Chain A
């Protein structure tokens, strides 16, 4: 009898804690507009991990890393492949894809270590023709910093610059001189935030990757509401059964 009454008490305690958490402990994910605005255009480049979907968890294997591109000028956004690490093994096995950047000619620059020359080199990929050429690091003219700092000297702040764990909110901020300006802020779960935040080339729009693996576009001057990009994923029979995770934005070109 005592055991049964304890079980009933246990269920009641569990029920009360579930109700408490359901009422006060759950913050929904932010909801974004998904319609593309005519004012925004260009192409966004980002890095994707292709992971195996293992039958037995926990750890998936990273099979490949790829740079993908989306053209946001068109209504139906379709993802296209630019290059994958596996396409570049002819140059080296030490390809630093996460250091990729877009140069002033809108080409993608990928650094790697050339074992034959015993030095750091770069591959320049023409995004229009997909032609790859080699270059020495010294002869590169890149503008990597422009994606964090625009032409007006406004620096985008990362999550770590603005971290406030008790805030229950996520936001996009930039710093001009000593002033911090809020572009966007919303109530969100503690584990939701924006990462890999980049300026568009005109310095008026911002693109960010959120922890739900979605790409969101913001207007610096709040000319439009944030837009979540709905992407038609790149299809290839080679990666059909694999998982794909966007882990870094490279940049937003014209």
Chain B
């Protein structure tokens, strides 16, 4: 049993919060459900060995890569992908404990699954290129990108469903962007910058909606990806369509930042508040610089940036107090 938990249980027993029977039941339950020490050692050894194999492979590959034929390179990539996928699945079954820089075995498997996604992408690119070089099949570059992005999106979706971890959440988001981008590149060429901005904002909005419906977890990451992409999309749209109207442009961005702060309070999500606050810190000085003479704005900027920071501090403090009361 974890020493901290054991100590905590002892404290509870000493203070008669737990009686001896419940205390013993907890100890027995933990002992019966935990892996034996030998099993732990075996699994830890396997895992550490796996990391050595992986790092050895990553260290050796660049040295021999250029001397290998395309087929050998492909085989190596397939083996690496399979190894990573297997190692990730194996590490998922290990008892929760810290290892190296990772907080838990779930985090290790999540990281390995992430690397396996990159490796799988390389496998697909290689396979398509080899197919084109060794046969009469001519695969246009756009189609090759679409095939790659589709397979990577399916794989990312599957991994997200298996793990629900942050790395898979991020991978799923960017593989969706990659997939939509490859479709856009195929059917909607020469899109204007505001069109690209609209796509980015739309994907951000969709991500936010699905985080709100609890389809995507953890919520902070879903809202972070959503809010940052909606912001980037809207900035692209406004900068493109209202580039001649600087003041209106900045006022809209300030209004958007205030909207973010309002939404963050409604959803109790700090990340949205940070992005809204950052928008205010960037755009308020811009507005002052546009409206007022040059020699006035430096102290005003300090005043406003300070005001925003004080608000952020007070907001975070109130959140902390609310959480404290709730707990």
Which residues on A are within 8 Å of B, measured CB to CB?
2-3, 5-7, 9-10, 13-14, 17-18, 20-22, 24-29, 55-57, 165-166, 168, 189-192
Q: Is the CB of A6 within 8 A of B209?
A: yes
Q: Is the CB of B243 within 8 A of A165?
A: yes
Write the chain A residue with the least CB distance to B129.
A55
Residues of A within 8 A of B202 (CB): 13-14, 17
What residues on B are CB-neighbors of A192 within 8 Å?
A: 190
Give bound CA distance, A9 to B122, whole Å: 34
Residues of B with C-beta under 8 A to A2: 213-214
B326 within 8 A of A: no
Of the 9-residue stretches B42-50, B156-164, B191-199, B301-309, which lies at the interface with chain A? B191-199
Known: A18-B188, A55-B130, A190-B193; 16 extra A-B contacts, CB below 8 A, are: A5-B213, A7-B215, A9-B209, A13-B202, A13-B209, A21-B191, A21-B195, A25-B188, A25-B195, A26-B191, A55-B73, A56-B126, A165-B243, A166-B240, A166-B243, A191-B190
Q: For residue B161, give the distance in angstroms from its CB to the closest CB of chain A.
A: 13
Q: Is the interface of B mostly helix, strand, loop or mixed?
A: helix
Residues on B facing A (Cβ under 8 Å) = 70, 73, 122, 125-126, 129-130, 188-195, 198-199, 202-203, 205-206, 209-210, 212-215, 240, 243-244
A191 to chain B, nearest CB (A): 7
Q: How many Å lie between the Cα of A79 and that of B191 in the bound state?
A: 32
Name A55's contact: one of B126, B190, B199, B205 (CB within 8 Å).
Answer: B126
The answer on a CB contact under 8 Å between B199 and A21 is yes
**Once the chains bind, are A3 and B213 in contact (CB under 8 Å)?**
yes
- Cβ–Cβ < 8 Å partners of B206 in chain A: 10, 13-14
Partner of A26, one of B190, B203, B213, B214: B190
Q: Which residues of B contact A27 (CB under 8 A)?
A: 190, 192
CA distance A118 to B225 in the complex (A): 57
For this complex, 7 residue pairs linking A to B, each with C-beta atoms less than 8 Å apart, are A2-B214, A3-B210, A26-B189, A26-B191, A26-B195, A189-B192, A190-B192
In angstroms, Cα B213 to Cα A18, docked, is: 23
Q: Identify which of A10, A25, A189 contacts B210 (C-beta below 8 A).
A: A10
Which residues on B sit within 8 Å (CB–CB) of A165? 243
Of listed B126, B188, B192, B212, residue having the most chain A CB within 10 A: B192
A33 to chain B, nearest CB (A): 20
B80 to chain A, nearest CB (A): 13
Q: In the complex the two chains form, is A25's CB within 8 Å of B191's CB? A: yes
Tell me, in angstroms, the Cα distance from A109 to B113 when the chains sit together.
56
In the bound complex, how far is the Cα of B101 from the Cα of A203, in angstroms?
69
Residue of B nearest to A27 (CB): B190
Q: Given the complex of chains A and B, what is the CA–CA distance between A165 and B193 in angstroms?
A: 11
* Chain A residues whose C-beta falls within 8 Å of the C-beta of B126 in the assembled complex: 55-56
Closest to A12 in B: B206
A93 vs B308: C-alpha distance in the bound complex, in angstroms? 57
- Chain A CB within 10 Å — which of B122, B126, B194, B202 has the most? B202
CB distance from A108 to the nearest CB of B (A): 34
B73 contact set on A, CB distance < 8 A: 55
Residues of A within 8 A of B193 (CB): 190
Given contacts A56-B122, A56-B125, A57-B125, contact A6 B192 (CB under 8 A): no
Chain A residues in 8 Å Cβ range of B244? 166
Q: How far is the CA of A10 from the CA of B243 in the complex (A)?
A: 30
Residue numbers in B under 8 Å from A22 (CB-CB):
188
Of chain B, the residue at the smallest CB distance from A188 is B190
A17-B215 in contact (CB<8A): no
- Contact present for B198 and A20 (CB under 8 Å): yes
